[in-house]
């Protein structure tokens, strides 16, 4: 049916070096760096000025909104949002990618009596969204070459 | 029509020459010039035109009559008679009209005194942001101070007229002269609720500094009395936070004092070190349903009090926490009180990519306290090591983990052990492949992926029936849960496992890398009965099946669907699907269906909401959340907005269930005068929270 195993040519990023504007101990940053290293020859540099591309994180937000109430007025479902806003500049400060927003969401049921477990479940869902986000960021970065 | 022009630069050269022009000029050289017809005098960014004028050269002063018009820094004044010093910007105008460039603020007066380049004092004048010469609303004031340097207007002894009718008199009020946030009244809200009767809220906003503000919410409720609220916010480089305090002395209904406090704060006080607090408290169980202004407040039943101190470096982090909850009980549907964590200490170390290995160790010791259940100290250590092999076409991650825990219990049932320990190893292997092809999606060429994934877990069985449950629970079945080693969340139950999860995801990706659509299906297969349980024992050979499809079908239509289907029972356990149609700005329709049989009581709702222009200048907004099981409307909202050029009127009715058999219904009116009062209060919040995709009617349609 035409599907082919993805090759290095489609994940290779269109720059030789990149600076990732996320702290060393950021879980998102660690996962993103690992996948960039695996995606091809792009080197991750720690000196912003030496990088051919500079991924600048404008905001990383986690939000929680009520999705449904039951007839007793209790929250029975929340929606968790993971909102990531970033842009990519070249070494001269020109924008390679304008401010781009990626928003992920997951629904989670809620019960007051299970609040501790739900807190841990939220963390699990955010970890999964983080992995999802890393893949979506990489897709956008590698698409820059056609631009 | 409120497109404020960019303010012209105020840097002006006082030594710039005054250039004069007219059809006819006479006068004494170096002293004064008399000009007639098409007079124009220009200096830097100030220009004066008139029929007749005298210019005194030494004083750099203009005296003009007849069709006088002055422009300075984007602001325009007209007058019958005018006197002005071109260098200092001082002078006066008689019978003037004015128009401010920054926000289209305009009016007329008996006299304007120019005090400096950016300050004017308007006597017996009016102020409005309406375009028409006969404005829908205007302020009429004894004195108006317009300070475009501070972007601030102040009206003394003023009357506010709406449609020719005076509606508000104030000794002094301030308002912004641009779109910037400024101190001042926020639009008052007038309304009525079934719990508080008639009510009026007139919030006042103090813009203390660009990064600090304070809002006061005096609120009169006819049945209860005067309710006062204050909310302060601050944002500094190393710390930020927000605190709300509110209350009422001697509520006329309950004859008690009612209050609530909410405060969050986070402070990175040294490199790597941060402390946070999140403190919430209320005077009584009914406080949120009686007083809260928003649905998020009304539904609060657990008020968290949490303080944490964290340290994080590149490879390790530590956390100390004290936390508990105030439970606001509903006597007809009591809530089990959560445990207090007094304290929790956590230490995590991790390194990625050490010779290809990732490792981490999480350790935690917590003292769990509860007034009537088993209490105790729990220690666990959870080391993990994995060897991820990542390749553009796929990945393979073998992983080994150990969960070692120890409990010292108090308040235990006699005969039950007070010391417990457990060590359980877990082996897992996660793997996935990524296939791609060129495809078309509704006529657009895209990349389609096919991503199969398999995840195997083995954990031996250990009977854990004697272990208390502090933070463990059954998570929703989700893709995240399908790919976790433990069937439970929390650390009191470690599931025995000999199981395989299979899932396939297919995505449509636009050439720009944007994920347009995703379809996924996943399920877990058990090779042995699951012996560790929470609640009822299960002996299924497979989990429920998860099917999910989310994305945008076209520019205007997006879909979101999640199903959880049990093949063994042949029923849908959870379903959540909906469509959003957003064909243009301020036009949105949402339809969603939600079913959850895993909860008790079950949940089955249809949720319809939308915003739509219903006539010229009229916008409607509505939401109905109908509970199919109870056969009644759980939540409802109906809003109507009228948008004129310089004001918006809105009326919003809402019904929110608050506890068993009780609901709050409310009706609120609001008049927002553009440029006089900032946005943001109850009726607007209600619409934004209830209607996904709602847009302010004042947002330009064609940005």
For B655-664, write each residue's pLDDT tens digit.
888 887 788 8
pLDDT of A130 over the 70 cut: yes
Residues of chain A contacting residue B624, judged by C-beta atoms under 8 Å apart: none
Mean pLDDT of B188-215: 85
Range picked from A103-112, B24-33, B685-694 for highest mean pLDDT: A103-112
Chain A, 65 to 94: residues with Cβ < 8 Å from chain B are: 65-77
Cβ–Cβ gap B480/A106 under 8 Å: yes
Candidates B649, B675, B679, B683; CA nearest to B173 is B675
Mean pLDDT of B213-232: 92
For B298-340, write each residue's pLDDT tens digit.
778 899 999 999 998 888 999 999 999 999 998 888 898 999 9
pLDDT attached to residue B677: 67
Q: Does B372 touch chain A (CB under 8 A)?
A: no
pLDDT of B115 over the 80 cut: yes
pLDDT attached to residue B172: 76
Q: Does B235 touch chain A (CB under 8 A)?
A: no
User: Bridge partners of A69?
Assistant: A75
Q: Using pLDDT thresholds of 50, 70 and 90, give the confidence band for residue B7.
A: very low
Round to whole Å and give the CA distance between A71 and B225.
29
pLDDT of B9 over the 60 cut: no
Residues of chain A contacting residue B302, judged by C-beta atoms under 8 Å apart: 112, 115
Q: Does A26 touch chain B (CB under 8 A)?
A: no
For A8-55, write each residue's pLDDT tens digit.
887 888 889 999 999 877 889 988 998 898 888 889 998 888 899 999
Predicted TM-score of the model (pTM): 0.86
- Report the gap between the CA of A82 and the closest CA in chain B (Å): 15
Cβ–Cβ gap A71/B438 under 8 Å: no
Q: Does A61 touch chain B (CB under 8 A)?
A: no
Q: Higher confidence at residue B217 or residue B380?
A: B380
Average pLDDT of chain A, as a whole number: 90
Q: Which of A116, A131, A139 would you mutate first to test chain B, the one with the most B CBs within 10 A?
A: A116
Cβ–Cβ gap B289/A73 under 8 Å: yes
Cβ–Cβ gap A140/B299 under 8 Å: no
pLDDT attached to residue B288: 87
Q: Does B297 touch chain A (CB under 8 A)?
A: no
Round to whole Å and give the CA distance between B368 and B467.
13
Chain B, 310 to 339: residues with Cβ < 8 Å from chain A are: 312-315, 317, 325, 327, 330, 332-333, 335-336, 338-339
Mean pLDDT of B374-394: 94
Round to whole Å and give the CA distance between B28 and B570.
105
Q: Using pLDDT thresholds of 50, 70 and 90, give the confidence band for residue B681.
A: low
DSSP helix/strand/coil, A116: helix
Non-local CB neighbours of A119 within 8 Å, separated by 6+ positions: B471
The one-character DSSP state at B252 is T
Residues of chain B contacting residue A76, judged by C-beta atoms under 8 Å apart: 596, 599, 603
Torsional sign, CA B33, B38, B44, B46: positive
Q: Residue B222 in contact with residue B251, Cβ under 8 Å?
A: no
Cβ–Cβ gap A71/B632 under 8 Å: yes
- CA distances (Å), B503 to each of A134, B451, B456, in order? 19, 8, 12
Residues of chain A contacting residue B473, judged by C-beta atoms under 8 Å apart: 114, 116-118, 120-121
Q: Which of B352, B358, B452, B475 would you mutate first to test chain A, the one with the most A CBs within 10 A?
A: B475
pLDDT attached to residue B415: 85
Q: Does A139 touch chain B (CB under 8 A)?
A: yes
pLDDT attached to residue B701: 63
Q: Using pLDDT thresholds of 50, 70 and 90, give the confidence band for residue A59.
A: very high
Q: Does A131 touch chain B (CB under 8 A)?
A: no
* Site of tokens 């709702």: B605
For B619-642, write each residue's pLDDT tens digit.
999 999 999 988 888 889 999 999
- Report the gap between the CA of B317 and the closest CA in chain A (Å): 9
Rg over alpha carbons for chain B, rounded to the nearest Å, is 34
Cβ–Cβ gap A124/B489 under 8 Å: yes
pLDDT attached to residue A146: 47
Rounded to 10°, the helix A27-39/A115-143 angle is 40
Q: Using pLDDT thresholds of 50, 70 and 90, give the confidence band for residue B249.
A: very high
pLDDT of B595 over the 90 cut: yes
pLDDT attached to residue B703: 37
Q: Does A125 touch chain B (CB under 8 A)?
A: yes
Q: Higher confidence at residue B169 or residue B440?
A: B440
Q: Does A98 touch chain B (CB under 8 A)?
A: no
- Report the gap between the CA of B474 and the closest CA in chain A (Å): 8
The answer to which of B188-197, B277-286, B422-431, B541-550 has the lowest mean pLDDT is B188-197
- Report the gap between the CA of B300 and the closest CA in chain A (Å): 8
Mean pLDDT of A98-127: 93
**ipTM rounded to 2 decimals:** 0.93
Residues of chain B contacting residue A114, judged by C-beta atoms under 8 Å apart: 473
Q: Does B634 touch chain A (CB under 8 A)?
A: yes
Q: Residue B368 in contact with residue B379, Cβ under 8 Å?
A: no
Mean pLDDT of B133-145: 89
The one-character DSSP state at B480 is H
pLDDT attached to residue B232: 94
pLDDT attached to residue A19: 94
Mean pLDDT of B8-27: 73
């Amino acid at each position: 049916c035409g599907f082919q195993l993805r090759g290095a040519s489609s994940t290779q990023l269109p720059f030789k070096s990149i600076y990732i504007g996320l702290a060393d101990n950021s879980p998102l940053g660690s996962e993103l760096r690992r996948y960039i290293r695996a995606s091809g020859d792009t080197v991750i540099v720690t000196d912003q000025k030496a990088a051919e591309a500079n991924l600048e994180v404008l905001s990383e937000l986690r939000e929680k909104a009520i999705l449904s109430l039951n007839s007793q007025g209790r929250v029975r479902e929340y929606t968790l949002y993971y909102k990531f806003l970033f842009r990519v500049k070249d070494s001269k400060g020109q924008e390679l990618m304008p401010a781009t927003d990626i928003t992920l969401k997951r629904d989670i049921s809620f019960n007051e009596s299970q609040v501790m477990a739900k807190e841990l479940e939220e963390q699990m869902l955010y970890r999964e969204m983080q992995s999802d986000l890393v893949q979506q960021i990489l897709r956008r970065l590698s698409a820059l070459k056609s631009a | 029509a409120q497109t404020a022009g960019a303010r012209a630069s105020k840097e002006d050269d006082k030594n710039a020459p005054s250039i004069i022009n007219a059809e006819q000029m006479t006068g004494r050289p170096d002293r004064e010039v008399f000009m007639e017809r098409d007079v124009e005098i220009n200096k830097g960014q100030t220009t004066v035109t008139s029929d007749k004028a005298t210019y005194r050269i030494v004083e750099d002063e203009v005296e003009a009559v007849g069709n006088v018009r002055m422009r300075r820094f984007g602001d325009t004044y007209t007058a019958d008679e005018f006197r002005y010093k071109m260098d200092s910007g001082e002078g006066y105008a008689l019978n003037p009209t004015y128009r401010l460039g920054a926000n289209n603020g305009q009016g007329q007066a008996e006299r304007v005194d120019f005090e400096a380049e950016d300050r004017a004092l308007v006597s017996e004048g009016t102020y409005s942001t309406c375009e028409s010469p006969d404005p829908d609303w205007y302020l009429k004031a004894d004195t108006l101070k317009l300070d475009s340097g501070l972007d601030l207007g102040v009206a003394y002894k003023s009357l506010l007229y709406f449609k020719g009718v005076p509606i508000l008199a104030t000794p002094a009020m301030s308002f912004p002269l641009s779109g910037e946030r400024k101190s001042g009244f926020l639009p008052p809200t007038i309304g009525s609720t079934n719990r508080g009767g008639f009510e009026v809220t007139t919030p006042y906003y103090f813009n203390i500094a660009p990064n600090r503000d304070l809002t006061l919410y005096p609120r009169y409720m006819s049945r209860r009395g005067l309710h006062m609220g204050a909310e302060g916010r601050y944002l500094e480089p190393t710390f930020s936070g927000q605190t709300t305090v509110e209350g009422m002395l001697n509520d006329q209904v309950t004859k008690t004092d009612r209050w609530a406090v909410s405060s969050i704060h986070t402070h990175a006080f040294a490199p790597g070190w941060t402390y946070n607090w999140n403190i919430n408290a209320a005077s009584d169980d009914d406080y949120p349903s009686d007083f809260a202004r928003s649905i998020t407040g009304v539904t609060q039943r657990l008020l968290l009090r949490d303080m944490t101190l964290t340290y994080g470096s590149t490879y390790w982090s530590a956390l100390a926490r004290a936390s508990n909850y105030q439970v606001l009980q509903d006597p007809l549907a009591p809530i089990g009180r959560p445990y207090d964590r007094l304290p929790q200490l956590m230490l995590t170390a991790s390194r990625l990519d050490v010779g290809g290995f990732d490792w981490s160790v999480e350790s935690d010791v917590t003292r769990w306290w509860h007034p009537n259940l088993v209490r105790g100290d729990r220690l666990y250590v959870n080391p993990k090591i994995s060897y991820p092999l990542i390749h553009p076409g796929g990945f393979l991650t073998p992983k080994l983990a150990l969960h070692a825990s120890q409990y010292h219990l108090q308040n235990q049932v006699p005969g039950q052990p007070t010391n417990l320990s457990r060590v359980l190893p877990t082996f897992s292997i996660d793997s996935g492949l990524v296939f791609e092809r060129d495809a078309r999606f509704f006529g657009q060429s895209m990349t389609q992926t096919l991503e199969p994934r398999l995840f195997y877990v083995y954990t031996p069985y250990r009977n854990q029936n004697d272990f208390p449950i502090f933070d463990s629970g059954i998570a929703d079945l989700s893709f995240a849960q399908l790919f976790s080693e433990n069937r439970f969340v929390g650390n009191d139950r470690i599931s025995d496992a000999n199981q395989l999860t299979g899932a396939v995801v297919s995505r449509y990706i636009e050439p720009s890398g944007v994920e347009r659509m995703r379809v996924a299906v996943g399920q877990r297969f058990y090779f042995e009965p699951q012996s560790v349980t929470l609640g009822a024992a299960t002996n299924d050979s497979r989990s429920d099946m998860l099917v999910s499809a989310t994305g945008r079908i076209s520019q205007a239509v997006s879909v979101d669907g999640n199903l959880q289907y049990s093949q063994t029972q042949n029923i849908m356990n959870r379903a959540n699907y909906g469509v959003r149609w957003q064909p243009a700005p301020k036009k949105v329709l949402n339809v969603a269906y939600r079913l959850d049989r895993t909860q008790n009581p079950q949940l089955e709702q249809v949720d319809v909401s939308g915003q739509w222009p219903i006539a010229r200048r009229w916008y409607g907004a509505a939401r109905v959340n109908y509970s199919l099981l109870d056969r009644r409307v759980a939540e409802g909202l109906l809003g109507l907005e009228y948008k004129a050029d310089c004001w918006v009127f809105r009326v919003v009715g809402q019904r929110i269930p608050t506890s068993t058999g009780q609901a709050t219904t409310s009706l609120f009116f609001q008049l927002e005068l553009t440029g006089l009062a900032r946005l943001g209060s109850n009726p607007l919040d209600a619409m934004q929270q209830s209607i996904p995709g709602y847009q302010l009617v004042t947002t330009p349609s064609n940005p």
